[in-house]
Amino acid sequence: MTATTDGSTGATLPPRAASASDSVPSTPEAAGVKQAAALAVRRATDYLLSKQDTEGWWKGDLETNVTMDAEDLLLRQFLGIRDEKTTQAAALFIRGEQREDGTWATFYGGPGELSTTIEAYVALRLAGDAPDAPHMAKASAWIREQGGIAASRVFTRIWLALFGWWKWEDLPELPPELIYFPTWMPLNIYDFGCWARQTIVPLTIVSAKRPVRPAPFPLDELHTDPAVPNPPRPLAPVASWDGAFQRIDKALHAFRKVAPKRLRRAAINSAARWIIERQENDGCWGGIQPPAVYSVIALHLLGYDLEHPVMRAGLESLDRFAVWREDGARMIEACQSPVWDTCLATIALADAGVPADHPQLVKAADWMLGEQIVRPGDWSVRRPTLPPGGWAFEFHNDNYPDIDDTAEVVLALRRVRHHDPERVDKAVRRGVRWNLGMQSKNGAWGAFDVDNTSPFPNRLPFCDFGEVIDPPSADVTAHVVEMLAYEGLSHDPRTRRGIEWLLAEQEPNGSWFGRWGVNYIYGTGSVVPALTAAGLPGSHPAIRRAVAWLESVQNDDGGWGEDLRSYKYSKEWAGKGASTPSQTAWALMALLAAGEQDSKAVERGIEWLAAAQREDGSWDEPYFTGTGFPWDFSINYHLYRQVFPLTALGRYVNGEPVVGTARAAAAADRSPAEVKGNG
């Protein structure tokens, strides 16, 4: 056996312990399925170990769509800091994403999307691309065919209003007085999901100020009729929800004219304090790009100059979202995912047979332990007495730890033999307590908040793009249930309520909806391992229905795939799409958990994964299999193509991870106060 080299540091690591993946033929073609899987495990393990950062974390690129890049240029234009190098690098990336028909999509292989195409077009105009250039003329013609700027979403028209390309009075009103709504009142800011809340508060300031910077060029070519660029929108019937909220918006426009100046000024100042209090240590807001962009604009409108520490830190944080590619192109990440990537990588490597005390796993555990959040955040508005203890998704996001990451980090930590087990146990106890305390009243779990299910925010005319609430989902609930099972809490009443909710949420065809991954394959690949970990046998009717559905949607090539269109056209697209490494792995993880190790479906899936692996141990995956907002905002997590195939292959070669009896015994010995949540 040879030593492994860590590509990040150049350091030589101790040899791995012998496992089923060693001493196998050098090519999959020369091996049987088991041997091909073992070879793939060995290659993928070495590849993933080589990608660890010297501090202990993993992070793959988080690819979304070109609106991130376009809005970054528009922000720089608005602030007067746009430079030629950044502009041309962004333009190079945006041009490279344009489709043959002149449009831009929101995911690989997807259809052209109007607002995305408008923003990309405007960004290229900023970069100097002439409107009569063939690629630009093709885009503008398509935009006009789709209804022009007037048919675009609100957020696109806000960006255009900043430069006078759209009228502020023709946008939905968003009053800053919203900051004063008490938590019991509908449409208070805590009725919105945390990502929407962080965006809406600064936008109330922008909406109140209605700034306009001189436009560097006209956009007449993007209107169906340049003489009437802002055509009135028809009102929905009064008796409908949409009609009611449209009329509320009209009332808010009228209120703007009579709002007491002292009240408005006080509301704006309160919103500004709310924003500044939530700036993270690295200068960002919520670890995601959109709230940071709008927060910078809002504070700038209130007189914060670009050298103010808050502004300087905010702009520096935005620079860290940039990924510079070898060809000189610059892609903007909407977010960064080191905690999520690190816990998933740790689980994958452990399940692949890497020794539990391997130095790189211990280093990963050390880093994750240092990332635990031990102060309250916005979640404590609904859970004021619950002690903190969760983990966030990003490098810095102490205000918004999330339930999914916390569950997976606990599962990862339990796979590592750490030199300070007491420290691990203490961190895990805090994480378990926090997750239990964040259970919603229906027995399930959302991603960031408790009972974030108000029906009103999604009805606002302002909220015409993606989800703005955070209701419980099957995938997050499944990960929590799985974690609780591994902590010996399968029979805890709160775990059983989660299991009951999951069983009730199963689709008639046997699948589960995937909120944070595409889609029914992700949901099913999350739920089945959780249910079996919690004690449901493979013969349970729900498990058998899930197995039958997965077998029915397996592709002819042996893999699994699902297109994002399943979010919009579920009956036609559920479980259907080109085979991908991550989605094939999710299906295999469910089938293996259900006891289907020797089935033909599993064998064909393993063969597909082994054959699709590249010589360096990696996989390629251009398709988007992550979800921000179902259908509206999609994500290609570049590490998904590595961690999930390795997890599935590792479990096929080494068997399913075993629920720790020692942990179960320890849980049984704990006092109720140690595991009590705040439900």
- Residue 279, judged by CB atoms within 10 A of its CB (0-12, 13-18, 19+), counts as buried
Give the tokens for residue 386. Answer: 């619950």
Instruction: Tell me, rounded to whole angstroms, the distance of Cα 632 from its chain centroid.
Output: 12
CA distance 161 to 157: 6
| Contacts of residue 351, Cβ cutoff 8 Å, sequence gap at least 6 | 415, 646, 647, 650, 651, 654, 657
CA 333-561-582 angle, to 5 degrees, is 50
Please list the alpha-helical segments (H only) found in 127-173: 134-145, 154-161
Which among 631, 467, 507, 516 is positioned nearest to 564, based on CA atoms?
A: 631
| Closest to 465 in 3D by CA, of 211, 205, 119 | 119
Distance CA 473, CA 502 (A): 9
| Sheet (strand 62-63) strand order | 62-63, 633-637, 626-629
In Å, how far are 221, 235, 251 from 170, measured between CA atoms?
20, 13, 14
Q: Which backbone phi and psi does 46 adopt, to 5 degrees?
A: -60, -40
Among 343, 328, 331, which residue's Cα sits nearest to residue 289?
331
Q: What whole-number distance in Å separates Cα of residue 542 and Cα of residue 562? A: 21
d(CA 148, CA 115): 9
Q: Are strands 633-637 and 62-63 parallel, antiparallel or unpaired?
A: antiparallel
Q: Which strand (E) or helix (H) includes residue 427?
A: helix 421-437
Structure tokens at 556: 């002819």
Active-site residues, by number, are 404
Asked if 645 contacts 584 with a C-beta cutoff of 8 angstroms, the reply is: yes
Within 10 Å of residue 93's Cβ, how many Cβ atoms? Answer: 21
Report d(CA 418, CA 358) in Å as an integer: 9
Helices (H), 51-175: 67-79, 84-96, 114-126, 134-145, 154-161
Buried b / exposed e along 66-82 (16+ C-beta atoms within 10 A): bbbbbbbbbbbbbeeeb
